[in-house]
């Protein structure tokens, strides 16, 4: 049994496809299939069964998966320990971030990290929160930065220092913009632009509105915050978005902030890590930079007319 065979097995288990798995770990499909066949011969069990175009784990495969994952995680920890012997002069770090922190929060922190540790090859992957969470659980990311997160199996929260606020935006000429604030009862009268399922921004917003007893009226789903901002500017509705995401447009008066009386939506950005892995020196250094960035941040854009609410208790605290 070899490490490469275990890596091939886990790739197929996660991708449910030999072709996609081969692409993920940079092998030809015949080579990957050979690794699986050799592993099955040694174990005396079939590890996968075919269901149409998918390869799904057999009963033996499901039992074997957790053992294979522990072995590969231990190997990763061993490699990281060896890299740590060299300090932070070299190494690599793979960070995943959901859309809002990845685009609007992390750039300055990443720039500072690269300035301090030029020998660390940092890769940043951006996707919605659901994709980043799955990447952490599958041990494909060293760290994930997500918003409004509830810890899942195999995850642990290692930092939750960045606080965000979801603010209501409208076009500058919208009737609400002239008033500066609205009541909660008025929200259902306007089309609400929302992110796609899997977005933490959407999840946090929906939970806050439900808690306040607000049932949105018409909605329009868009899969990126930048798209939502453009559609709001065009007068196609209103939206709750991160204060980080609209600071530039508000200063330029391309968008207006409108307070909702009695409603304030806050969340923490959480840094999550695979529970079964040891966080290496480069990951710890990145956390230190990120936490310093959070502590030193100037005041965020705030919505007028809102009343202060309690910030959500940080997961893992």
Q: Per-residue pLDDT tens for 169-199? A: 999 999 999 999 999 999 999 999 999 998 8
What is the pLDDT at residue 255?
A: 97
Fold of 3-84: Arc Repressor Mutant, subunit A (1.10.10)
Strand partners, 96: 125, 144
| CA triple 16-17-19, angle to 5 deg | 155
Angstrom distance (rounded) from CA 215 to CA 192: 11
Angstrom distance (rounded) from CA 60 to CA 272: 30
Strand 91-97, strand 143-147: pairing = parallel
3-84 and 91-156+270-295 share one fold: no
Q: Which long-range contacts (CB under 8 A, 24 or more apart) does 129-136 make?
A: 129/98, 129/198, 129/199, 129/200, 129/203, 130/197, 130/198, 130/199, 131/96, 131/198, 132/96, 132/97, 132/98, 133/272, 135/96, 136/96, 136/272, 136/273, 136/274
Q: Extract the tokens encoding 211.
A: 């808690």
62-102 pLDDT, tens digit each:
899 888 887 877 777 666 666 555 567 778 899 999 988 99
What is the pLDDT at residue 286?
A: 92
What is the pLDDT at residue 75?
A: 72
What is the pLDDT at residue 113?
A: 94
283 within 8 A of 93, measured Cβ to Cβ: yes
Angstrom distance (rounded) from CA 200 to CA 93: 24
Q: Mean pLDDT, consecutive 10-residue segments, the chain of 317 residues?
A: 86 88 87 91 90 87 86 71 63 90 91 92 90 84 80 64 90 94 96 92 94 95 95 97 94 96 91 81 89 62 40 31
Domain locations along the chain: 3-84, 91-156+270-295, 164-266
Listed residue (54, 63, 23, 55) closest to 37, CA to CA: 55
What is the pLDDT at residue 257?
A: 97
Determine if the pTM surpasses 0.75.
Answer: no
What separation in angstroms does the CA of 199 have from each of 32, 102, 128, 202? 34, 13, 5, 5
What is the pLDDT at residue 263?
A: 96
What separation in angstroms does the CA of 176 have from each of 115, 156, 181, 258? 44, 42, 7, 7
CATH of domain 164-266: 3.40.190.10
Pick the CATH number of 91-156+270-295 from 3.40.630.10, 2.50.20.10, 3.40.190.10, 3.30.2310.20: 3.40.190.10
What is the pLDDT at residue 44?
A: 92
Secondary structure class of 22 (helix, strand, coil): helix
238 within 8 A of 212, measured Cβ to Cβ: no
């Amino acid at each position: 049994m070899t490490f490469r065979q275990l890596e091939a097995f886990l790739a197929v288990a996660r991708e449910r496809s030999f072709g996609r798995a081969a692409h993920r770990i940079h092998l030809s499909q015949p080579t990957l299939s050979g690794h699986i066949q050799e592993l099955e011969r040694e174990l005396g069990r079939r590890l996968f069964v075919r269901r149409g175009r998918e390869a799904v784990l057999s009963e033996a495969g499901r039992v074997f998966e957790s053992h294979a994952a522990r072995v590969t995680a231990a190997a990763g920890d061993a490699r990281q320990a060896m890299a740590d012997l060299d300090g932070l002069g070299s190494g690599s770090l793979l960070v995943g971030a959901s859309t809002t922190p990845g685009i609007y929060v992390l750039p300055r922190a990443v720039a500072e990290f690269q300035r301090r540790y030029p020998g660390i090859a940092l890769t940043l992957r951006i996707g919605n929160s659901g994709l980043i969470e799955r990447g952490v659980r599958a041990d494909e990311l060293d760290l994930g930065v997500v918003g409004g997160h509830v810890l899942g199996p195999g995850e642990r929260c290692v930092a939750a220092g960045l606080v965000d606020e979801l603010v209501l935006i409208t076009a500058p000429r919208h009737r609400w913009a002239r008033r500066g604030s609205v009541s909660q009862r008025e929200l259902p009268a306007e089309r609400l632009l929302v992110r796609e399922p899997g977005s933490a921004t959407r999840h946090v917003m929906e939970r806050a509105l439900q808690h306040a007893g607000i049932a949105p009226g018409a909605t329009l789903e868009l899969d990126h915050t930048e798209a939502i901002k453009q559609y709001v500017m065009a007068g196609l509705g209103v939206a709750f978005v991160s204060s980080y995401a609209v600071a530039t447009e508000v200063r330029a008066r391309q968008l207006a902030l409108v307070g909702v009386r009695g409603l304030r939506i806050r969340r923490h950005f959480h840094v999550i890590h695979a529970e079964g892995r040891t966080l290496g020196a480069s990951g710890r250094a990145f956390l230190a930079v990120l936490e310093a960035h959070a502590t030193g941040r100037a005041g965020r854009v705030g919505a007028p007319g809102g009343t202060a609410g309690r910030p959500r208790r940080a997961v893992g605290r």
